[in-house]
Chains A and B, each alone.
Chain A
């Protein structure tokens, strides 16, 4: 585009940015941004920020997703010196809405859907995670408690058949630090209190993981999201296969060695655990979680001819076969729990009581705040320390965020 054309277009300009001018300006903006980005990429990317001001900025950046204003940075720098990095981080979290509306929301959203996309809408699963962190509740509760967070005074109200309540919260950029209110889940979704299991029985999780299929998805994704292990990592062929359901063919494509070397490794542990969800389903027509106490969902009994001598699910009693000596003992199952039970709540307690659960939360926070996985010896040691603090300090995830932010800011 010639300068003359540019001039003519600019002459027509008013208060609104004209498209042509926008295009030109955009080009410039991109060019400049790239130039500055190149400069930024040239930084020593491994070095911790050198001074308290830089460290405070990094903590604010990483915890809230936004940069502090100069005035805020002055305050934080002073606080960093007087109260120390961990308390400064806690101060940031307690006083910034973006920590909840941006960082925590994006932290939890991928757990709530099968695609693990961070772009999924705000929902009751995410809101509950945010609320539990905000209120410094025991984070293990997210897998077992009778709890759900809703927006106070937000219309439409919470519904068992729609996500509209949370859609509204998100579309209006509601301040999640303020608006979320703790409720008993049973009072909202009608489940018996004993049948509630934190986010496992949230509407969003049900829609994602109880829909169709065999309910194994709920188990797999809970394991993936909260113990940081996919089925490949817990694969152990030596578990007794007596609880593997009839729908699992023992000779895939006519070759039982495939079953003995692959399928059995996951199903022998997973099926007796996923039995905890035998009374749950998601009704697509109504768009809601369904709970049928005492009646096993038909999805547990499908394809029964695939292996007639397979296990027929009679109830929701679960057993943890991974507690037996073997490949999965390093998960660190709680010695205070029996490793067996009925229903989703006790299974949630079993999973959340493991060492792997605590470690997983710390690792996830580490990746969120430090933009990398724990790598060198110092990282690995720090993750252990933070995990121990988390376990011994009542499972307060906000503390994990604070300690991690302090560490990655170069405390």
Chain B
């Protein structure tokens, strides 16, 4: 049931060994120790046996055997005369080598029987079995030298065929139990989540129409686990517009969803659907442990534990600089699915002891060069002076730091070319925006010639260290190694760290590229059986699947493949692939829904299969990688055709009628300019008018909404009105046209100002029949006459004074609501 599958994309080896080897534990031995051991192995007896017979045995001795033969590790049981296989015997390294060879997979160290046994909980000398497994993998890798770059073979193993299981599915129409949920949504969410809201926010699950609401709410409810419903999380965890108490609101909604879920029976996958066989993640072929270059790693953090408060240094280089997590899990930090730690609050950090941190100073001091390598997901691009990886004593004293400032990575390294704080920092260029709130591989190297260099996603950023190289002799060995914050807790960084390695060599560009290509996390090849549909022997649709983070899986690189090297597809039509999870089709993330291709001999290669798509997609995690079951559904495959599921059309809903608001408004800036021009007859191109309008244009009303009219608008209106009036009165021709028959040199306005107020009223309020929508002409005239009268009382109303008074009266009329309101 096996066949070899060579891939030029995946330089990974994953051999599942159906080993018959039984690794018997020490009788009555302790299961695990309580506390991590940070010191080196307790030395076994001084070796006085035969010298290593070959170079490989010498390598075995240095990289592996010396690490495991101590009495606090495997040597306690698997010694000469002890438990078989006695690969940790101290009397004969050649005999130990023979025994070790039976439990080590040289092609895929992580899949060695020895590693899998310890990973399964067998006498790990640390509190976390996965940490011991990683360390053993590292030692074996160092021994067999499996850090080359050549392609490797993936050995695909046919999974056990099984049909998709069942899960609860939403009925097409809203069940009766949806009514209470609908009531809550319409009561509390309808200000935004309805199509006719002034601030409409899709999805419209608060629609008055229960069916419209139900269809929009389906993606936000989880029948199998109501607590994981997006509604519940949005209220409870994300405090999104709670109507009273977020926890209580979330509970109320969760209870309503639970009540609905309780009345829905799990549905079987319809027999009419064209479905592949089903798989869980563990049925896939492991493809992790890619060809990383770690030959000079002195500290390595993979965060595989997923629990507890210690992140183990699995470099295998003693003393292990294990990191102790500060703060409370969930609230301050959390383990991330697919391996990683998320730092959430300023309280969170992961710090090693100063004692174990000394190895950085010692081992890097010995080489004078080093690299910081990390896979990170910055939580945002707004944080500044945040520490991602640091070996420091305070905010002003450090040996090295990788930090974030907005879109930039910062590198501080103390050397003879920089100060005791590692300053000046080397930062990536602002314009490049190298740092993104996305999974990124970042490496900072230091060597005595080039100084600091920053690489993001395998590429040198091109930022040159103006401080140049130097030596590292001044490093302080009393500092502590820390992630996610400064040791003094006042430079927090929000984000996810998925991998960190410190190398005591400056990685080369090629090595950095190699590590970038190797990726991070665990990847599986998933073989979804379709032989029962198309009849091609041992035929599968294969996906590369990994847990992307705590919330989702990454499905990528789908291929058609047969494990029978002689099989060929012929000419088989394939349309529309849906990824199913737990017996149902998730509505979100179906990237292959519109796929249309043909499985054909011409596109198929027995070695590499037939690529179906080059894009990947994220599918939401439901119950976790241990229990989520996946399958594929096809709209058309071979001779069978049946659309997996269609999404319903949404019916257009008219907005709900509301009372009419005010329908009067104010003239806006250009309208005012044109209005004043048309009333006065003064051209808007008159220089003074033009200048005034240009100055106050943006101070005039921009919208006719009368509620938005401010006193500052009125001030600008008055300015413009006065300028128009000044231009009008100062221009004899315009003046004569506007105030016909009025001689400004001889007229006396005292006592009777009708000569000017009557034309003003006629032009602004309107002449002839009184418009009912305008103020009464007599009332306006009375006000204007009063104004003129007052101005005349204070200064007389003949000669030059007439001009001023006329301008003022004109300004009052032109800038009044009779003109500005429409």
Contact = CB atoms under 8 A, between A and B. Distances in A.
Contact of B722 (A22, A101, A330, A380): A22
A101 B592 contact: no
Contact of B589 (A54, A69, A241, A252): A241
A327 B704 CA distance: 34
A36 B780 contact: yes
B766 interface: yes
A381 to B, nearest CB: 9
Interface stretch (A27-35, A135-143, A217-225): A27-35
A106 B704 CA distance: 11
Interface string A217-246: 000000000000000111111101110000
Contacts of B437: 249, 252-253
A14 B795 CA distance: 13
B54 interface: no
Interface residues of B, number: 136
A32 B665 contact: no
B800 A15 contact: yes
A251 B648 contact: no
Interface stretch (B127-135, B165-173, B306-314, B654-662): B654-662
A70 B726 CA distance: 23
A235 B550 contact: no
Interface string B680-698: 0001110000100000011
Interface stretch (A154-162, A195-203, A260-268, A285-293): A260-268
Contacts of B816: 29, 32-33, 36-37
B589 A255 contact: no
Interface stretch (B70-78, B197-205, B352-360, B418-426): B197-205
A40 B588 CA distance: 55
A73 B815 CA distance: 21
Q: Interface residue tally of chain A, by bracket?
A: 35 or more
Interface in B728-782: 730, 762-763, 766-769, 771-773, 775, 779-780
B95 interface: no
A90 to B, nearest CB: 20
B618 interface: yes
B29 to A, nearest CB: 39
B652 to A, nearest CB: 4
Contacts, number: 350
A171 B494 CA distance: 52
A257 B551 contact: yes
A28 B808 contact: yes
A87 interface: no
A250 B821 CA distance: 52
A377 B657 contact: yes
A95 B136 CA distance: 89
Contacts of B679: 67
A37 B707 CA distance: 12
B272 interface: no
A10 B807 CA distance: 13
Contacts of B651: 330
B722 to A, nearest CB: 6
A28 B657 contact: no
B259 interface: no
Contact of B766 (A36, A70, A171, A375): A70
B593 interface: yes
B646 A325 contact: yes
A33 B698 CA distance: 20
Interface of A: 3, 6-7, 10-11, 13-18, 21-22, 24-26, 28-30, 32-41, 43, 45-46, 49-51, 53-54, 57-58, 61-62, 64-67, 69-70, 73-74, 98, 101-103, 105-106, 117-119, 171-173, 232-238, 240-242, 249-257, 259-261, 264-265, 303, 305-312, 324-330, 332, 370-372, 374-377, 379-380, 408
25 contacts: A14-B803, A15-B730, A17-B803, A18-B804, A25-B722, A26-B718, A29-B722, A33-B815, A37-B714, A40-B817, A49-B772, A57-B766, A65-B671, A70-B762, A118-B668, A242-B594, A242-B613, A249-B436, A253-B494, A260-B552, A264-B588, A265-B202, A303-B436, A309-B614, A329-B650
Given A18-B804, A54-B773, 11 more contacts: A26-B718, A28-B787, A37-B820, A173-B683, A232-B202, A238-B587, A255-B550, A261-B588, A305-B458, A371-B705, A375-B659
Interface of B: 195, 200-203, 216, 219, 230, 233, 336, 340, 342, 377-380, 436-440, 456-458, 494-496, 548-552, 554, 556-557, 587-595, 613-618, 620, 646-655, 657-665, 667-671, 674-675, 678-679, 683-685, 690, 697-698, 702-706, 714-715, 717-719, 721-722, 726, 730, 762-763, 766-769, 771-773, 775, 779-780, 783-784, 787, 790-791, 794-796, 800-801, 803-804, 807-808, 811-813, 815-822
